[in-house]
Structure 1
Amino acid sequence: MKEKGRFLKKYRGNECLNCGVPLDIIDRYCHNCGQINTIKKLSFKDFFNEFFASIFSYDSRLRHTVVGLLFKPGMISKDYIEGKRIKYANPFRFFLSVSILFFIINGLFIDFDQMALQFNSGQKLAAEDSKRTKAGVIEINTSSSDSSKTTKNSSEQIYFTEAQLDTMSMFTAINKRWKTYKSHYKKTEEVLPSVALDSLKHKQNTYTRYLYTRSIKTKNLNDNPMELLIFVFNKLPFIIFFFLPFFALIMWLLYIRKPFNYMEHLVFIFHTQTMFFILIGIAVLIDQITKSEVTSSIAMLVFLFYLYKAMRKFYQQGRAKTIVKFLLVNVLFFILAGIGSVITIVGSMFIF
C-alpha cells in the first residue's frame, strides 16, 4: 500500500503517543494499542483521506463476505467457525447493518400516509353504515322512553373505587381499573395521569400512572392503528435480531448429533438471514423500477433453494436428510414467526 499523508516515514516517532510503548521507524502502527505511529498534526486533508481509506479497507472484507454469501452458500459459515475470519465481516454486526439498511430502503417505498388514508376511509364508511343501521332501528323503535334509555346507557361512565378494586383478584382488578381509566379519558380527555387519578381518587404510584397512560395510548391506537404499525416497522431489525437466537435453538435441536455448538448454529442463521435481506432488498428495488412484484416472488424461491444448498454445505448431510430437515425448518420457522409476531404486537402496545 502506497504511503502518504501521516503514514510517511518522516512523521513516525520513537514511541506511541497513546500508550508510550517504544516503537521503531518501520512500525506503521503501535503493536500494543494499534494506534497510527505518527507525530504529524491532523489536517483537514488527512482526516478525509483516512476516512475514505477506512471505508475501502472495510470494503475488502465486505466484498469477500457478499461474494461468499451470494455464490458459496454455507461456505462462509463453515470458514468462520473453522477460524478463517479475518477476511469476513462480523456476522452479527453485518446482519444488523444489512437489515437496518433493508428496512430503511423498504420504508422509502411504503406510503404510510396513503395506508392511513385508506384505513380512515374504511372507518368512515363503516361508521356511516353503522349510523344508517341505527337510524333504521330508531325508526322501528319510536318509543321515546326506549330512546332515552339508550342515550343514558351510552353516556354512562364506568367507575370502580379503589376500595372496590382492592377486593378483586389481581387480573380482574387490572381489567376493571383499565376500563375505568379508558372511560374517564373518554369523558374528560385528561392526558395527565396525576390529575386523572386525583379526580378518580385512585392511588398515585408508578403502576397506576403507567396503566392510565397505556389506556390513553390504546384509545388513540383504536382511532389510528397506523401509529403502532409504523412503530413496529421501525423496530423490526432489532426485533428480528433478538428473534433469531430462538431459531438457532431449533437448528441446534435438529442437528443435535452434529459436532456444532449453539453459537456456530447462530453464525449460520445470521449469515442465511443476511442473504435473505440482500436478495429481497435487490428484488424490491427492481420491482420499484419495473412496477411489478415478479422479482420479489422469484427472490423468495431463490432464497429457499439457497437455504437448502447452505444447509447441505454447512451441516454436511445427504440430500434426503437435508430435504426433510429443510421442510421441517421452514414449518417451524413460520410457527415461531407467528408466535413472535403476536408477542411483538402485544409487547409493542405496552412500550409504544
Structure 2
Amino acid sequence: MKEKGRFLKKYRGNECLNCGVPLDVIDRYCHNCGQINTTKKISFKDFFNEFFASIFSYDSRLRHTIVGLLFKPGVVTKEYVEGKRIKYANPFRFYLSVSIIFFIISGLFIDFDTLILEDHEERDKKEAFQVKISSPSLADESNKIDSIAQNKEQEDFVYFNEAQLDTMDMFKAVNSRWKTYKSHYKKTGQLSASLALDSLQHNKSGYTKYLYRRSIRTGDLNENPMELLKFVFNKLPFIIFFFLPFFALTIWLIYVRRSFNYMEHLVFTFHTQTMFFILMGIAILLDQITNSEIASSIAMFVFLFYLYKAMRNFYQQKRAKTIVKFLLVNILFFILASIGSLVAIIGSIFIF
C-alpha cells in the first residue's frame, strides 16, 4: 500500500500519542490501541481521505458479503465460522442494517391508511347488505333501528359499583369492570382514567387505571382492527430479532449430532434471514414498478430453493438428508412463527 499524507515515515513518532506505548518508525499503527502512528497535524485533505478510505474498506467487506450470499448459498457462513472473517461483514451487524432498510422500504409502500379505508368500506357494504336482506319494509326497518338504539342505550348504562365487584370471583369481576369502563367511555367519551374512575366512584389504583385505558383501546380495535395490524407491523423488526435465536435453537436440535455449536447455527440463521430481506426488498421494489405481486411470489420460491442450497453447502450432508431436514426446518419455522405471531398480537393488545 502506497504511503501518503499522515502515513509517511517522516511523521512517525517514538510513542503513541493516545496511550503512550513506545513505538518504532516501522509501526504504522499502535500495537496497543490501534491509533495511527503520526505526529502530523490533521488537515482537511487528510480528514476526508481517511473518511472515504474507511467507507471503501467497509464497502469491500459489504461487496464480498452480498455477492457471496447471493451466488454462494451457505459458503459465506461456512467460511465465516471456519475463521475467514476479515473479508466479510459481521453477520449480526449486517443483518440489522439490511433489516432496517427492508422495513423502511416495506413501510414506504404498504399504505395502511388505504387498507383501513377499504376495511371501513367493506364493513359498511356488509352492514348495508344485511339491512337490505333483513328489512322487508320501512316500518320493519324503523322498528329494527329503534330496537338497536334501545339495546345500545341499555348497554351504555352497564354499571357495577365497587361493592358489587367485591362479591364476584376474580374473572367475573374483571369482566364486569371491563364492561363498566367500556360503557362509561361510550357514554361520556372520557379519556382520563382518573376522572372516569372518580365519576364511577371506583378505586383509583394503577390496576383500575390500566384496565380503563385498555377498555378504551380495545373499543378502538373493535371499530378499526387494522390499527392493531399497523401497530404489530411497526414492531416486526423487534419481534423477528427476538424470534431468530429460538429458530436457531430448533436448527441446533435438528443437527444435534453434527459438530456445530449453537452460535454457528445462529450465524447461519442471520445470514439466511438477511438473504430473505434482500430478496423480498428487491421484490417489493419490482412489484411497485410493475404494479403487481408477481415478483414477491417468485422471491418466496427463490428463497426456499436458496435455503435448501445453503443448508446443503453449510452442513455438508447428502441430498436426501438435506431435503428431509429442509422440510422439517420449514415445518418447525411455521409452527414457531404461528406461536410467535399469536404471542405478538396478544402482547400488542396489552401495550397498544
- Tell me, yes or no, whether TM beats 0.5: yes
Query: Which residue of 2 is the match for residue 231 of structure 1?
Result: 231
| CA displacement 1:176-226 (0-9 Å, x = unmatched) | 222222111111111111111221222222222222222222222222333
Could you say if the C-alpha distance between residues 20 and 186 of structure 1 is closer, same or farther in structure 2, counting changes exceeding 3 Å?
Answer: farther
Distance across 2 between alignment mates of 1:261 and 1:38: 43
Do structure 1's residue 198 and structure 2's residue 198 form an aligned pair?
A: yes
Query: Which residue of 2 is the match for residue 171 of structure 1?
Result: 171
Q: Tell me how far 1:165 sits from its aligned partner.
A: 2.7
Asked if the contact 2:29/2:36 (under 8 Å) is kept, the reply is yes
Q: Tell me how far 1:326 sits from its aligned partner.
A: 1.0
Shifted more, 114-123 versus 20-29: the winner is 20-29
Aligned partner (choices 151, 154, 174) of residue 153 of structure 1:
151
One-letter amino acid of the structure 2 residue matched with residue 335 of structure 1: I
Distance across 2 between alignment mates of 1:160 and 1:133: 38
Q: Tell me how far 1:299 sits from its aligned partner.
A: 2.1
Query: Which residue of 2 is the match for residue 322 of structure 1?
Result: 322
Query: Which residue of 2 is the match for residue 351 of structure 1?
Result: 351
Aligned residues: 350
Distance across 1 between alignment mates of 2:231 and 2:42: 42
Q: Counterpart of 2:35 in 1: which secondary structure? A: coil
Distance across 2 between alignment mates of 1:209 and 1:276: 43
Could you say if the C-alpha distance between residues 63 and 138 of structure 1 is closer, same or farther in structure 2, counting changes exceeding 3 Å?
Answer: same
Asked if the contact 2:221/2:228 (under 8 Å) is kept, the reply is yes
Could you say if the C-alpha distance between residues 34 and 211 of structure 1 is closer, same or farther in structure 2, counting changes exceeding 3 Å?
Answer: farther
Could you say if the C-alpha distance between residues 16 and 334 of structure 1 is closer, same or farther in structure 2, counting changes exceeding 3 Å?
Answer: same
Give identity over the alignment, percent: 72
Query: Which residue of 1 is the match for residue 61 of structure 2?
Result: 61
Query: Which residue of 2 is the match for residue 27 of structure 1?
Result: 27
Do structure 1's residue 112 and structure 2's residue 112 form an aligned pair?
A: yes
Could you say if the C-alpha distance between residues 209 and 28 of structure 1 is closer, same or farther in structure 2, counting changes exceeding 3 Å?
Answer: farther
Distance across 2 between alignment mates of 1:302 and 1:149: 56
Distance across 2 between alignment mates of 1:72 and 1:46: 38
Query: Which residue of 2 is the match for residue 90 of structure 1?
Result: 90
Query: Which residue of 2 is the match for residue 301 of structure 1?
Result: 301
One-letter amino acid of the structure 2 residue matched with residue 117 of structure 1: L
Distance across 2 between alignment mates of 1:173 and 1:2: 78
Unmatched tracts of structure 1, length 5 or more: none
Q: CA RMSD in A?
A: 2.7
Q: Counterpart of 1:198 in 2: which secondary structure? A: helix
Query: Which residue of 1 is the match for residue 188 of structure 2?
Result: 188
Q: Tell me how far 1:323 sits from its aligned partner.
A: 0.9
Shifted more, 299-308 versus 168-177: the winner is 168-177
Distance across 2 between alignment mates of 1:147 and 1:71: 65
Distance across 2 between alignment mates of 1:160 and 1:251: 52
Distance across 1 between alignment mates of 2:166 and 2:173: 7
Query: Which residue of 1 is the match for residue 214 of structure 2?
Result: 214
Q: Tell me how far 1:24 sits from its aligned partner.
A: 3.7
Do structure 1's residue 247 and structure 2's residue 242 form an aligned pair?
A: no
Asked if the contact 2:135/2:141 (under 8 Å) is kept, the reply is no
Shifted more, 218-227 versus 262-271: the winner is 218-227
Distance across 1 between alignment mates of 2:145 and 2:316: 75
Query: Which residue of 2 is the match for residue 335 of structure 1?
Result: 335
Q: Tell me how far 1:13 sits from its aligned partner.
A: 4.3
One-letter amino acid of the structure 1 residue matched with residue 153 of structure 2: S
Unmatched tracts of structure 2, length 5 or more: none
Q: Counterpart of 1:36 in 2: which secondary structure? A: coil
One-letter amino acid of the structure 2 residue matched with residue 181 of structure 1: Y
With the length of structure 2 as denominator, give the TM-score of the two structures. Answer: 0.88
